[in-house]
Amino acid sequence: MMNKDCRVKCLALTLLMISQCALGLPEHDSVPGGIALVPLTTDKNVMFNGRRVMVNESAEGYIAIVGIPLSRSPGSLHLDTAEGRVRFKVNEKQYEEQRLTIKNNRKVNPYAQDMERITRERKEMDAVFNHFSQVDRADTDFDLPTQGIVSSPFGLRRILNDQPRSPHSGMDIAAPEGTPIISPAPGKIVATGDYFFNGNTVLVDHGQGLITMYCHMSSISVKVGQRVDKGQYLGDVGMTGRVTGAHLHWSVSLNNARVNPALFLNQETTP
């Protein structure tokens, strides 16, 4: 027979799952690179590691939608709220290894003259990922941004030309060059450019620290400052930047943590 604490935890989990389905919340997967859905009694001044986090209202109160960095170790963590600390647990997860051969070795080991450009581009993207724009509610029930086959899932431990590199921080969707890319949710175009590693790139701010990024595009059809609706055309799949073939690299950032995009996809569009 369950004790009182177990019954309370089970009830809280059940209510959370009901809210998740009813409100179109992302999937709860509290692991490095995942998302923790944390029930709250307030939506004021909710912080994680010194950063504001997304909070949506639910029938039972409020829910914090927290991005967990891939580098975070498993264990007990907490949110800082106006009413005190709220704890949640991060579970262990092991991601598979992927080895790739990049023909243009300069994209793996950049030349000295490339580093100024790379540093400048990284600062530009970091400024976007760090931004928190206040909206009443961010749409977290995403559509798939392009039609294709998932060729590289999120989180893979990557070995490029036999050299260890950072884990894969997005989802790769293989598709023919020229395949349309759409915005999975409403937002604002906050950056575009031709970046050294990412090629032609678009970044969209959906509000409350939720940013999506689209890389390796063959063409870009939006401009900085433009508002886009869910399903609006952003450009086309390509093979610019560091690639092995035509595909879309799609990243989702939440409170400046790159998280698994699949957790935001509704059941109808899950690849």
pLDDT at 12: 44
pTM: 0.86
Hey, how many other C-beta atoms are within 10 angstroms of the C-beta on 218?
Answer: 17
| Residue 250 host element (H or E) | strand 247-254
pLDDT at 182: 98
pLDDT at 11: 42
**Cross-strand bridge partners of residue 40:** 62
By DSSP bridging, strand 180-182 and strand 219-220 are: unpaired
pLDDT at 43: 79
Residue linked to tokens 């950063």: 51
| Residue ranges for the chain with pLDDT beneath 50 | 1-22
Q: Please report, as a single letter, which amino acid is at residue 237.
A: V
Residue ranges and CATH numbers for the domains of the chain are 4-90 (2.60.40.1590), 97-264 (2.70.70.10)
The whole-angstrom separation of Cα 269 and Cα 271 is: 6
pLDDT at 157: 81
pLDDT at 104: 82
The whole-angstrom separation of Cα 242 and Cα 260 is: 21
| Residue 172 host element (H or E) | strand 171-174
pLDDT at 3: 47
The whole-angstrom separation of Cα 12 and Cα 256 is: 27
Helix (H, G, I), strand (E, B) or coil at 19: helix
Please tell me what DSSP assigns to residue 55: E
pLDDT at 164: 63
pLDDT at 217: 98
pLDDT at 267: 56
CA trace torsion 253, 265, 140, 27 (10° rounding): -90
pLDDT at 162: 66
